Amino acid sequence: MTDLTKLTLAEARDGLVAKKFSATELTQAFIKAIDAANPHLNAYVLTTPEHALAQAKTSDERLAKGEARPLEGLPIGNKDLFCTYGIRTTACSRILDDFKPRYEATVGQNLWDAGAVMLGKLNNDEFAMGSSNETSAFGPVVNPWRRTRGGKVDNTKLVPGGSSGGSSAAVSANLCLGATATDTGGSIRQPAALTGTVGIKPTYGRCSRWGIVAFASSLDQAGPIAKTVRDSAIMLRHMAGYDPKDSTCVDMPVPNYEAEVARGVKGLRVGVPKEYRVDGMSAEVDALWQKGIAWLKDAGATIHDISLPHTKYALPAYYIVAPAECSSNLARYDGVRYGLRVPGKDLIDTYEATREAGFGKEVKRRVLIGTYVLSAGYYDAYYLKAQKVRTLIKRDFDNAWSDVDVVLTPTTPSPAFGFGEKAGDPIAMYLEDIFTVTVNMAGLPGISVPAGLSGEGTPMGLQLIGKPFDEGTLFRAAQVIENAAGRFPVPERWWA
């Protein structure tokens, strides 16, 4: 029998409906693969095989009766930022300890209602704060990809990107058919780029944030990481949708994104922003960008130089807005209502001891920055200023949309890096998000699609940015790139 874990989500769906294999067989194949790989990759922080097999059994019954739902019996991984009823949810922070939510995140519920099977909870940077998955309380995730130097495989462990590093590693290592993820500054697209997978951050408001552990509420959005553009379109359709429990979630019908992927890009106007050609961008990333331009052109799109003049201010503005909102959101971790408590001599001392022990270094750093910029006398100079800059960033895009339908950029300035290589300097790590963060600041949708390999044999991605709620166009253009570039499966399953 073929290795079921190598199937795409769409192929697995069709195989289940055609009764080539059962949901139970499919789920068992993934459980076995996870057992073998997880000690090496650390992608899952919790596996839920019994839960998965129970869901698969229900799916098999429905499939037998011809009552299959759209994602019936398809095993996926769930980022540990999504609350799961009765199943430990930690945001990969010590402060949540053994927290077992008494509710299910809306995005997760939508997937389970569509028939998906949950294999377990995926690793991420603590509270989604990081670009390498090295800040997780459960330890880093290892990228399934390795560098090749001088024709030889280099065993240096590479990061899978972050914060959704468990999601990206699990998808690229075939430890699930697809995964949930979240993106506040690039946390879906950057890890997708570093692992040869597809990741889309939809428009702010497209997916409900209810039940997702909050980091920066005006920026956080959920989306999928998947093996193909089509798979990501299928998943997003069943994650998105109106939810009265999130007042920022839009009440708009969710299109059938899968129908978009085959529509091509004939006549599509593609913008290439000159401000994304930044210092320190590697020559191979630039070459990849030129290839992407050529592919879209060959498929009938027209290419236009555009200017997004406030691009360089997006990252510094982000590092005011995101910490400010995180310091406010993380105030809830007080050791009283849930999670860790370290007893102190009085209530204040208990708060301080709990938060000292519960938060990791990067989280503390951001909470403190946020507290500072929101403290008396500084609100106007920092937070208000940054929110005004955000308006200017959004205006840049609003102006561009009169000339173009979609914007093409690299996803990251460089391919996957080694453990510890950027951990010493917070700003060096923040620069990982330089191409992705503008999209969050403007609230726009963005997709990363794998487009080629670096000189070291590691994957690199291209990003497409769209108009608000125009995810359909992103899927069309991303499919053209995928068709031209091919797919990028991990060459060697060295952990098996």
Partner 1 sequence: MQVDEATVRRIARLARIRITDEEAKALEGELSGILAWVEQLDEVNTDNVPPMTRVADMKLKKRADEVTDGEKADDIIANAPMTEDHYFVVPKVVE
> Is residue 255 a contact point for partner 1 (CB under 8 A)?
no
> Is residue 347 a contact point for partner 1 (CB under 8 A)?
yes
Contact criterion met (CB below 8 Å) for 273 and 407: yes
Length of the chain: 496
- Angle at the Cα of 11 (from 473 to 49), degrees rounded to 5? 110
> Is residue 279 a contact point for partner 1 (CB under 8 A)?
no
> Is residue 317 a contact point for partner 1 (CB under 8 A)?
yes
> Is residue 146 a contact point for partner 1 (CB under 8 A)?
no
**Cis status of the peptide bond prior to 136, with omega within 30 of 0:** no
Site string for partner 1, 394-413 (x = CB under 8 A): x-------------------
How far apart CA 207 and CA 108 sit, in angstroms, is 11
How far apart CA 368 and CA 136 sit, in angstroms, is 19
Which positions from 408 through 467 interact with partner 1, judged by CB under 8 A? 426-427, 442-444
Among 371, 421, 483, 491, binds partner 1 (CB under 8 A): 371
Which of 93, 163, 164, 208 is catalytic? The answer is: 163
Least spacing, CB of residue 332 vs partner 1, in Å: 11
Among 153, 259, 294, 368, binds partner 1 (CB under 8 A): 368
Least spacing, CB of residue 237 vs partner 1, in Å: 19
> Is residue 244 a contact point for partner 1 (CB under 8 A)?
yes
Tell me which stretch binds partner 1 (CB under 8 A): 15-23, 145-153, 172-180, 328-336: 328-336
Least spacing, CB of residue 427 vs partner 1, in Å: 6
* Locus of tokens 């389970």: 112
Among 284, 338, 419, 456, binds partner 1 (CB under 8 A): 338
**DSSP letters for 406-468:** EEEEESSSSS--BTTTTTS-HHHHHGGGTTTHHHHHHT--EEEEEEEE-TTS-EEEEEEEEST
How far apart CA 392 and CA 396 sit, in angstroms, is 6
Least spacing, CB of residue 100 vs partner 1, in Å: 6
Structure tokens at 412: 């990251």
> Is residue 332 a contact point for partner 1 (CB under 8 A)?
no
Contact criterion met (CB below 8 Å) for 475 and 261: yes
| 163 is known as an active-site residue | yes
Among 15, 255, 344, 413, binds partner 1 (CB under 8 A): 344
> Is residue 127 a contact point for partner 1 (CB under 8 A)?
no
Least spacing, CB of residue 251 vs partner 1, in Å: 7
Site string for partner 1, 193-212 (x = CB under 8 A): ----------xxx-------
Contact criterion met (CB below 8 Å) for 58 and 64: no
> Is residue 46 a contact point for partner 1 (CB under 8 A)?
no
Helices (runs of H) and strands (runs of E) counted in the chain: 15, 13
Among 384, 398, 403, 455, binds partner 1 (CB under 8 A): 384
Least spacing, CB of residue 250 vs partner 1, in Å: 6
Q: Using alpha carbons, list the distances in angstroms from residue 160 to 42, 211, 212, 271.
A: 11, 25, 22, 29
Which positions from 87 through 126 interact with partner 1, judged by CB under 8 A? 98-103
| 297 is known as an active-site residue | no
With H, G, I as helix, E, B as strand and everything else as coil, classify residue 10: helix
Which positions from 214 through 243 interact with partner 1, judged by CB under 8 A? 218
Contact criterion met (CB below 8 Å) for 76 and 111: yes
Beta-strand pair 269-273/302-306: parallel
With H, G, I as helix, E, B as strand and everything else as coil, classify residue 267: coil
Range list of H helices, 139-275: 165-172, 189-195, 229-239
Among 356, 398, 403, 492, binds partner 1 (CB under 8 A): 356
Least spacing, CB of residue 384 vs partner 1, in Å: 6
| Residues noted as catalytic | 79, 163, 187
